[in-house]
Amino acid sequence: MRRLGVATLWTLAASAALAQPVTVPPFASKPDMARLDYDLKPRPIAPGTWVIEGEVADFSRANGCNIINTAFIDTGDGVVVINTGPSRLYGEQQRRAIERVTKAPVRKVLQLNLHPDYFFGHQAWADRPTEALAGTIAGARAEGGAYADNLYRLCGDWMRGTESSPSREAIDPKALPQTLQLGSHQLALMRLHGHTADDLVVLDTSTGVLFAGGLVFTERVPTTPHADFAAWLASLDTLEQLLASGQAKTVMPSHGPVHEGLAGLRQTRDWLQWLTALMQTSAERGLDLGEVLRTPVPERFAKWAAQPAELQRSLTQWYPRYEQRVLVAPAR
C-alpha cells in the first residue's frame, strides 16, 4: 500500500496496479503518430555537451509529459546519454536528435534515478548499454507498472507503445565514487540520496558540467514521493562543495533551466527547509491537513512551475507522518 500511495501521489492519479506487466490501453481512435512531435532541439552548454530541455511544468497531454532535461556528451570516444525521457516516442526522437548532431556511436546510457521520465525512453536504446544504480533499477522494476498506468492516463497517445524498461546494467554503489575516462572527458560518478534512495550524480570534470538529477530543481516545485528530507539537504551540501571548489560550474537539473553556480541548489534547499518547517510547526500546533493545505505560499515560491499541485502532493503524503511523530513524542 505504501508503494501504491507513492506512485499515485506522484502522478495525481487515483490508483495504480503495481509491478504488473504493462498492457497498452485501447484508444478510441488510431492517432496520427507523425503529428506527435516533441520538437527536441539539442542546445550546446559546454564543449561536446548538449542538453535537450523539457518544459518547466507538470505532466500534461499538452507537453507530452516532457518535463525533463536529458543530455548527451560526445566524448571523442563515443557518446554518453543521460536520461531518456517519458516515453518510447521521446526516446526514438531523442536518438534521432543526437544523430543529427554527431555520428559518433553511443557507448552508454545513464539513468539518474527511478522516476519514469528518466528511463521510459529506454526502449529506443535497447541495443546500447543502459546503466543505473542497483537500487534505482530495483525501484524502477517495482514501480514501473504503476508509473506506466498513470502516465498513459495523463498523456494518452504520447505514451503509445511505451513499456517500463529499467536499465539493464547495475552500477555497484560500492564502486562509487569512480571516474570514467572517455576520450577527452572525465566523468565522475557519485551516489547521493535524498530525492530518492539512490541518486546518481555525474560531474564532467573536463567541462565543469554537473548533471544533478532530481537533487536540484530550478524555478519548479521539487517532487518528493521518495524523499528523505534530511539526506536531501545533506546531498545539497555535498553538491555545494563541488561548486564552491570550482570543480563544478554549470548545473543541469533534471527539471528547470540549466544555470551557472548555486541558484538552483539554493532554491531547492530553501523550499525543502520551508516545507519541512511548515509541516513540523503545523503538527505541533495541532492543525489538520486541510488547514495546512490552505497555508499561503511565500511570494518567492508562488510563481514556480507545478504550483500548487506539487505542494499539495507533498503535504498529502508527508504531513500525516509529522502529525504521528508529534502525537507519539514523549511529553516535555
Distance CA 211, CA 199 (A): 11
Nearest-angstrom CA–CA distance, 268 and 23: 36
pLDDT tens profile 242-290: 999 999 999 999 999 999 999 999 999 999 999 999 999 999 999 999 9
Q: How far is CA 280 from the centre of its chain?
A: 26
In a domain, 29, yes or no: no
CA dihedral 214, 64, 104, 50 (to 10 degrees): -50
CA distance 91 to 120: 8
User: pLDDT tens, 107-133?
Assistant: 999 999 999 999 999 999 999 999 999
Q: Which residue shows C-alpha cell 512551475?
A: 305
User: How many whole angstroms separate alpha carbon 75 and alpha carbon 63?
Assistant: 31
Decide if 99 is inside a domain.
Answer: yes
pLDDT of residue 20: 34
Please check whether residue 24 lies inside any domain of the structure: no
Domain of residue 277, CATH code: 3.60.15.10
Nearest residue to 42 (alpha-carbon basis) of 96, 89, 92: 96
Buried b (16+ CB within 10 A) or exposed e, 131-146: bbbbbbbbbbeebbbb
The percentage of residues in the chain with a pLDDT greater than 70, rounded to a whole number, is 89
Helices (H), the chain: 2-11, 88-101, 134-155, 229-244, 263-285, 289-293, 299-302, 309-328
Tens of pLDDT along 136-176? 999 999 999 999 999 999 999 999 999 999 999 999 999 99
Q: Is residue 32 part of a domain?
A: no
- Quote the pLDDT of residue 328: 85
Neighbours of 79 (CB within 10 A): 25
The string of DSSP letters for 28-64 reads SS---GGG-------EEEETTEEEEPPPSS---TTTT
pLDDT of residue 34 exceeding 90: no
How many Å is the Cα radius of gyration of the chain? 20
The per-residue pLDDT for 75 is 98
Element (H, E) at 191: strand 185-192
Q: How confident is the model at residue 25 (pLDDT cuts 50, 70, 90)?
A: very low
**Residue 107's domain spans which residues?**
2-19+37-328
Q: Is there a domain that residue 31 lies in?
A: no
The one-letter amino acid at 268 = T
Whether 119 is in a domain gets the answer: yes
Q: Which residues pair with 284 in a beta bridge?
A: none
In this predicted model, what pLDDT tens digit does every residue of 162-213 receive, in sequence order?
Answer: 999 999 999 999 999 999 999 999 999 999 999 999 999 999 999 999 999 9
Q: Please state, in angstroms and rounded to a whole number, the distance separating the CA atoms of residues 324 and 312.
A: 19
The confidence score (pLDDT) of residue 216 equals 98
Q: How many structural domains are present in the chain?
A: 1
Beta bridge partners, 203, equal 188, 210
When pLDDT is averaged across residues 6-25 and rounded to a whole number, the result is 37
Per-residue confidence (pLDDT) for residue 32, from 0 to 100: 55
pTM for the whole thing?
0.89
On the question of pLDDT at 18 being above 80, the answer is no
- With pLDDT > 90 as the criterion, what percentage of the chain qualifies? 88
Question: Residue 21 pLDDT more than 90?
Answer: no
Report pLDDT for 35.
85
DSSP for 62-105 reads TTTT----EEEEE-SS-EEEE---SSHHHHHHHHHHHHHH--SP
Arithmetic mean of pLDDT over the chain: 91
Q: Is the pLDDT of residue 223 over 60?
A: yes
Nearest one of 258, 204, 244, 166 to 76, comparing CA atoms: 204
Q: What is the pLDDT of residue 266?
A: 98
Q: Describe the strand order of the beta sheet including 259-260 as a list of residue ranges.
A: 178-182, 185-192, 199-204, 209-217, 250-255, 259-260
pLDDT of res. 332: 61
Question: Is 306 among the domain residues?
Answer: yes
